[in-house]
Chain A
Amino acid sequence: MSLWVDKYRPNTLAKLDFHLEQGERLQKMVTKGNFPHLLIYGPPGAGKKTRVSALLRELYGPGVEKLRMEHQNFTTPSNKKIEVMTIASNYHIEVNPNDAGIYDRIVIQEMIKNIAQTQQLDIGGQREFKVVILTEVDKLTKDAQHALRRTMEKYMTTCRLILCANSTSKIIAPLQSRCLAIRVPAPSQDDIIKVLQMVSKKEGITLPADFAIRLAEKSERNLRRALLMLEACKVQQYPFNIKQEIVEPDWEVYLRETGQKMVSEQSPKALLEVRGRIYELLSHCIAPEMIIKKLLKEILKNCDGQLKAEITSMAAYYEHRLCLGNKVIFHIEAFVAKFMAIYKRFLEESFANI
């Protein structure tokens, strides 16, 4: 049994539910045959992957859906072995180069070289190029991005790249200029409600309009999330009650509690407690950037206007440090401690004024 998110994922460009005009343009691009490198970016849950897979199907037909998982091995110059998991069909290969950490450059270069060096024998039957999909490109190291630049030009005849990213801000300019950048914006609330209703109709369940609105609000314009929430709610209680609590990811609830703790007590002891909680989240593979982001969101609720600016800049600073450094806990903890110190000072000042 697959999840509803996967089950009702549109598999052709024609079946897309929103951003229809963009879908049409993509369609036209495929039929015209002049297919460039693509850079598809947008917030999570906006449908980037869906569009990519629909595009592939449009390019190569249903054969592209026969996927196989492969583990590929690469060797670094320092003789370290890296294993990277790829998902491939006969026509394309998808890889998340982040699995290789700082060795992503080698993975990208080797892999693209391998693919691009084989020419299609029968050009008449299909496209003369294969497609390489790289996900989470914004997390690539600068080194890898520069390497990609050269590789892209060199193998243009036999291979096209589709890069997926959340934002273009971390992608170097030369790379952006070599690709056709397509932004997939987050679906509007109405779009989400429409999809939710459609899915529940297909599943044969009734979804009250109010509940759909609440789901859409709670999902923060993330369709994937909305659908997962719907399914989770259905498992918990069906038929739906309008007052029903909407399930949230447990780690967010956990992080919210952590934020409350930070606001309620500022001492070295409280810091140790928060550290324990952050360690717990980290060991569940929650991305450290997410932790800082959600934590900030939570504590900002309790802050005064001018404090907000100060704390947000702190968060930004330590989020940057996070990327530079090696041990994430140092930086998250630094943010937590800085907040505690600032907040304590703020409390003391406001008490003094009274």
Chain B
Amino acid sequence: MSQQNGWVKPDFASGSKGNTYSIKKQSSRKTHLCDSSIMKQSTETNIEYASKPVNSGELVVQKKKVAEVKHWLELAFSTSHKAQFLLLTGPPGCGKYQTLSVLCKELNIEILAWDEPIKQYGANEWEYGQYNPQHHAEAKQADVNFYDHLEEFLERAGRFSTLKMKHAKCSGAHKSPIQKILLLKDFPPMIFKNLERWHNILLKYSQKRRTPAVFILTSTKSFNSTHLKLFPTVLSERLMMSTINFSGLANTFVLKALQRVSLKSKQATPPEVIEGIVESCNGDLRSALNVMHWITTSNANISKPSAYSKKRKIVSDVKTDSLNAMYVRDGSLDFMHAIGKIVHSKRLTQFDQERLPDLPKHLLEEFRLPLKENVNELTKNIGEVSSKVLLYLHQNYPLYFNRIEDVSKAVGYLSSADSLGNQLVHKEIFDECSLLIGVRGLLFSNTSVNGNAWRPLRKPDHYSVLLKQKEFHLYAQELYRNEYGTSFFSEILPFVRLIRPELKSTAGLKCTSNNHQLNLSTHVMGSQNSAFIPDIDPAGENSDVIIEDYDD
């Protein structure tokens, strides 16, 4: 403790002992990469070495995103001080940190990262010695400490001169003035305990206008809630925080990166294997690299044909036996893919006879073969709001059914799902239930075998209908101001259109016209809506007959 001459230990090897704050510099970047990646070996391996991008040209992130980050960095160190906070979000392994670090290197900016201390805060010798002598060791609660810790980090890191003094030794002699940014990368769960405190810390920090800070938030499924909790909109407005959203890497990007790495590492990986990895990695470059590393290490034993067969398996069937598929990742499915799986409702044709239940006679017609998919896994991995999934399912399911009886059952389940999902309390639970009911209902009720015929999946009309409703509502309000209940549209408006000739052509359901298309005049809606009624056949005779019948 007495030897402690700075609050940062220059030696990273001993970092685990009483680790407080570590300053990441170019030289230590590798260590950091190892921290965040799942890489088993932390020593330099060929692949890892080769995978590190050296300049911004080598980054596999979208060029536009790179440019955005660069622009922000330049702005942050311009005199205007417009930019002080930046939030990078995106799925894991899409290169958020790499982009930042490479750019910083190019712009000669130092990254000052905050590491979550490993040890109990109370036992921290530095704190004990200087800061809060009365709050000793175990008496303190970890989370309270945590905030103190964070705050102090921010405060200290902001104080430029202090840092420089303490660091002169390890960061070397800088000819140019050092530019620094703060990096907060991992948000420990403790942070949610006292969000107010966290927000206050941020605000306090922003008022002092010091070193720009970058936050990196890995967005998972619950992206929205975490994001909003940590940085509510009001707060981010006050902080003038800019947000850059990374998306998962496109497969071609990952492919390119893997090919380059395999070239560099001089360990030839068969192209089929690379392709297989790319397919299964879901835009996560880090995991793709890990898998590739894993495969190449054991490459000596694997002959080419066997690797090939593995790859085929992946393409044809995502959920293969985990033993066989080395590089299959059971991450989230592509949204449309999942919808397709549900509406297709494939069943096994070969199965273990003994495992089938004995159904009593009256239930025999409810018998179904086992499903090919694990539904619980499927719904878990969809990763979208359940109401959106239900809408997509609803839009597309009838095409996959042959019998109206099945359809009526299926849509009955959808209706139950919707009314169940529309709850204000315990929303998450109900949402999950409603999704499961909808999905399982559809799977269960479909008894027709559809084969593999390709049918396009459509976007739900629901949204466009809602939009039109709103427009029409506004239009009607303008037209006829003093009555505006719901009965207005069904009771009064149709007649008003007939009575007032100047309105005759507008906003009507033109059902007497031959082709049954409802023409909304361009004056009201702006655009024709041919897309939104799926092929109504232009058989007009039917309706004319009906009208006559009725009038007699």
Contact = CB atoms under 8 A, between A and B. Distances in A.
B486 A330 contact: no
Given A325-B422, A326-B422, A344 B469 contact: no
A145 interface: no
B551 A245 contact: yes
Interface string A256-288: 110011001011111111011101111111110
Contacts of A228: 491-492, 495-496, 499
Contact of A250 (B461, B477, B494): B494
Contacts of A284: 469, 472, 489, 507, 509
A235 interface: yes
A98 B486 contact: yes
B490 interface: yes
B139 interface: no
Given A264-B542, A279-B465, A325-B422, A273 B509 contact: no
A273 B481 contact: no
Contact of B481 (A3, A69, A135, A249): A69
Given A285-B489, A327-B387, A235 B412 contact: no
A276 B534 contact: yes
A258 B332 CA distance: 41
Interface stretch (A114-122, A151-159, A198-206, A334-342): A334-342
A318 interface: yes
Contacts of B550: 256
Contacts of B419: 321, 324-326, 331
A271 B491 contact: no
B532 A279 contact: yes
A327 B546 CA distance: 31
Contacts of B481: 69
A253 B547 CA distance: 8
A224 interface: yes
Interface in A166-221: none
A269 B484 CA distance: 36
Nearest to A343: B404
A44 interface: yes
A273 B536 contact: yes
A325 B413 CA distance: 13
B325 to A, nearest CB: 37
Contact of B414 (A44, A136, A334): A334
A98 B399 CA distance: 36
A318 B410 CA distance: 14
Contacts of A275: 398, 534
Nearest to B476: A285
Given A277-B533, A280-B518, A329-B394, A287 B487 contact: yes
B407 A324 contact: no
Given A3-B499, A96-B484, A334 B415 contact: yes
Interface residues of A, number: 74
A346 interface: no
Nearest to B466: A283
A136 B485 contact: yes
Nearest to A49: B483
Interface in A304-354: 318, 321, 324-327, 329-331, 333-334, 337-338, 340-341, 344-345
Contacts of A102: 424
Interface string A217-261: 000001011001101100110000000010111110110110011
B469 A283 contact: yes
B468 interface: yes
Given A232-B495, A268-B407, A287 B465 contact: no
- The size bracket of the interface on B is 35 or more
A351 to B, nearest CB: 16
Contacts of B461: 279
A98 B302 CA distance: 68
B473 A285 contact: yes
A285 B418 contact: no
Contact of B542 (A235, A257, A286, A290): A257
Contacts of A261: 542
Contacts of A287: 486-487, 489-490
B489 to A, nearest CB: 4
B474 to A, nearest CB: 10
A341 B542 contact: no
A284 B416 CA distance: 26
**Highest count of chain A CB atoms <10 Å: which of B422, B424, B472, B509:** B509
Contacts of A264: 542
A27 to B, nearest CB: 25
Given A67-B482, A251-B509, A285-B473, A333 B411 contact: yes
A332 B466 CA distance: 16
B532 A326 contact: no
Interface centre among A236, A273, A283, A337 (most CB of B within 10 A): A283
A258 to B, nearest CB: 9
B532 A276 contact: yes
Interface in A1-52: 3, 5, 44-45
Interface string A128-157: 000000011001000000000000000000
Contact of B402 (A232, A268, A340): A268
Which among B403, B462, B498 has the greatest number of chain A C-beta atoms within 10 A? B498
Nearest to A323: B419
Nearest to B413: A334
B495 A229 contact: yes
A82 interface: no
Interface string B488-513: 01111011111101000001111110
A239 to B, nearest CB: 17
Given A135-B485, A273-B536, A337-B404, A44 B491 contact: yes
B408 interface: yes
Contact of B398 (A96, A253, A272, A324): A272
B499 A330 contact: no
Interface centre among B411, B473, B518 (most CB of A within 10 A): B411
A47 to B, nearest CB: 14
B39 interface: no
A85 interface: yes
Contacts of B464: 283
A303 interface: no
B534 A331 contact: no
Given A282-B465, A284-B509, A276 B542 contact: no
Given A87-B482, A96-B484, A251-B509, A3 B496 contact: yes
Nearest to B547: A253
A325 B404 contact: no
Contact of B491 (A45, A232, A345): A45
B490 A249 contact: yes
Contacts of A245: 551
A89 to B, nearest CB: 12
Contact of B469 (A249, A282, A324): A282
B378 interface: no
B184 interface: no
B391 interface: yes
A250 B422 contact: no
A337 B408 contact: yes
B466 to A, nearest CB: 8
16 contacts: A87-B482, A139-B486, A224-B492, A251-B490, A253-B511, A253-B547, A254-B511, A257-B546, A268-B399, A273-B534, A279-B461, A286-B490, A326-B422, A327-B418, A334-B408, A345-B405
Given A136-B485, A251-B494, A267-B404, 15 more contacts: A44-B487, A69-B481, A85-B484, A98-B486, A228-B499, A231-B499, A248-B494, A250-B497, A260-B546, A271-B404, A272-B399, A286-B490, A287-B489, A331-B419, A340-B404
| Top 5 closest pairs, chain A to chain B, by CB | A249-B494, A228-B495, A283-B468, A337-B408, A341-B408
Interface of A: 3, 5, 44-45, 67, 69, 85, 87, 96, 98, 102, 135-136, 139, 222, 224-225, 228-229, 231-232, 235-236, 245, 247-251, 253-254, 256-257, 260-261, 264, 266-273, 275-277, 279-287, 290, 318, 321, 324-327, 329-331, 333-334, 337-338, 340-341, 344-345
